[in-house]
Amino acid sequence: MSRVYYSNSGSEANEKCFKMVRQIAEKKYGGKKHKILFRERDYHGTTITALSATGQFERKNQYGPFTPGFVEVPHCCEYRAQEGADLENYGVWAANQIEKVILEEGPETVGALCLEPITAGGGVIEPPAGYWDRVQEICKKYDILLHIDEVVCGLGRTGTWFGYQHYGIKPDMVTMAKGVASGYAAISCTVTTEEVFEMFKDPEDPRMDYFRDISTFGGCTAGPAAALVNMQIIEDENLLDNVKIQGEYLLGRLNELKDKYDVIGDVRGKGLFCGFELVKDRETKEPVDESVSTAIGAHCMANGVIMGRTNRSFREFNNTICMSPALIATQADIDVIVEALDNALAEVAPNA
Ligand SMILES: Cc1ncc(COP(=O)(O)O)c(C=O)c1O
Cα angle 305-310-316, degrees, rounded to a multiple of 5? 140
Alpha helix positions (H), 167-288? 194-198, 222-236, 239-260
Evaluate: CB of 10 within 6 angstroms of ligand 1: yes
Q: Residue 342: its pLDDT value, please?
A: 98
Q: How far is the CA of 8 from the centre of ligand 1 (A)?
A: 11
Structural domain boundaries in the chain:
2-234, 239-348
Q: How confident is the model at residue 312 (pLDDT cuts 50, 70, 90)?
A: confident
Evaluate: CB of 20 within 6 angstroms of ligand 1: no
Which residues make beta-bridge pairs with 264? 278
Percent of the chain with pLDDT over 90: 95
Question: How large is the average pLDDT for residues 236-258?
Answer: 98
The pLDDT tens digits of the residues spanning 217-235 come to 988 999 999 999 999 999 9
Evaluate: CB of 149 within 6 angstroms of ligand 1: yes
CATH number of 2-234: 3.40.640.10
The pLDDT tens digits of the residues spanning 83-115 come to 999 999 999 999 999 999 999 999 999 999 999
**b/e map of 211-243 (b: 16 or more CB within 10 Å)?**
beeeeeeeebeebbebbeebbeebeeeebbebb
Question: How large is the average pLDDT for residues 135-146?
Answer: 98
For the segment(s) 239-348, the CATH number from 3.90.1150.10, 3.50.30.30, 2.40.128.50, 3.30.1950.10 is 3.90.1150.10
Residue type present at position 274: C
User: Is the pLDDT score of 311 beyond 90?
Assistant: no
Q: How far is the CA of 106 from the centre of ligand 1 (A)?
A: 29
Evaluate: CB of 46 within 6 angstroms of ligand 1: yes
* Residue from 116, 192, 193, 120 nearest 148 by CA: 116
Question: How large is the average pLDDT for residues 32-44?
Answer: 98
Neighbours of 104 (CB within 10 A): 8
Neighbours of 13 (CB within 10 A): 30
Q: Could you check whether 2-234 and 239-348 share the same CATH topology?
A: no
Q: Residue 219: its pLDDT value, please?
A: 86
Q: Residue 203: its pLDDT value, please?
A: 87
Question: How large is the average pLDDT for residues 39-54?
Answer: 98
Compute the mean pLDDT over every residue in the chain, rounded to the nearest whole number. 97
Question: How large is the average pLDDT for residues 64-85?
Answer: 98
Which of 115, 125, 151 has most ligand 1 atoms within 8 Å of its beta carbon, as the pocket-test mutant? 151
pTM of the model: 0.98
Q: How far is the CA of 217 from the centre of ligand 1 (A)?
A: 18
Q: How far is the CA of 147 from the centre of ligand 1 (A)?
A: 14
For residue 42, give the ligand 1 atom closest to its CA. 1
Q: Nearest residue CA, atom 16 of ligand 1?
A: 152
Question: How large is the average pLDDT for residues 288-310?
Answer: 96
Pairing mode of beta strands 35-39, 2-7: unpaired
